[in-house]
Amino acid sequence: MQVTTDQQYNGAIKSCRDIFLQKTKDYGTSWRVYRTISIADQIYIKAKRIRNIQEKGVQKIDDDISGEFKGILNYAIIGLIQLDINDDEIEDLSLEETTKRYDEKVAMAKQLMEDKNHDYGEAWRDMSQESFVDLILAKILRIKQIVQNEGKTLISEGIDANYFDIVNYAAFALILLVSE
């Protein structure tokens, strides 16, 4: 039986979601204190670590590349959730509310992935891990520039669109890592 993109995507997301919810049980929603720039920096350091390992061919810390892509995906979801919540709202979200918001953002990212797969014909399957990391780094630099521009863009997509792309790039990388 051939595994479909839908099944592979769901599997990649499930592994990220499981980690996210376990950490939420451990730490609560302490990530609520992060500003957009802090979330971007968290994603940046994870992507930069992957790139350094790719370029040097040596890894000195046990955390594997797969775990870093999962962290990138989860931070992008955190970023999307944070964009929806006003700064003056409560910092603690219940596990139920957090789960609901996570699942909503994943559903939106998956719909975007399906729409783009329709138009691009799953071109991502022929891409390298290096390209996914470079694309994620470029999206982070765009987010940082938008933050510097106080959230304003002239003709470009906003911060949320960049986070959604990061979610999908990380999911694609995870799918391809399993396929190797």
Local confidence pLDDT in tens for the 180 residues of the chain: 557 999 999 999 999 999 999 999 999 999 999 999 999 999 999 999 999 999 999 999 988 999 999 999 999 999 999 999 976 666 789 999 999 999 999 999 999 999 999 999 999 999 999 999 999 999 999 999 999 999 989 999 999 999 999 999 999 999 999 876
Tokens 């938008």 belong to residue: 146
Kindly write down the DSSP assignment for every residue of 22-75, as one continuous string.
HHHHHHTTGGGG--HHHHHHHHHHHHHHHHHHHHH----SS--HHHHHHHHHHH
Token pair belonging to 22: 């376990």
Q: Looking at residue 2, what is its pLDDT?
A: 59
DSSP state of 155: S
Beta carbons of 18 and 103 less than 8 angstroms apart: no
Nearest to 77 by CA among 49, 47, 109, 45: 109
CA 134 vs CA 16, 130, 151, 153, 173: distances in Å: 21, 6, 23, 22, 12
The total number of residues written for the chain in this structure: 180
Token pair belonging to 80: 């999307």
Q: Is the Cα torsion angle 131, 134, 139, 145 positive or negative in sign?
A: negative
Cβ-based neighbour number of residue 89 at 10 Å:
9
Collect all residues with Cβ–Cβ distance below 8 Å to 177 and sequence separation of at least 6.
65, 66, 69, 129
Collect all residues with Cβ–Cβ distance below 8 Å to 43 and sequence separation of at least 6.
72, 75, 76, 79, 136, 140, 166
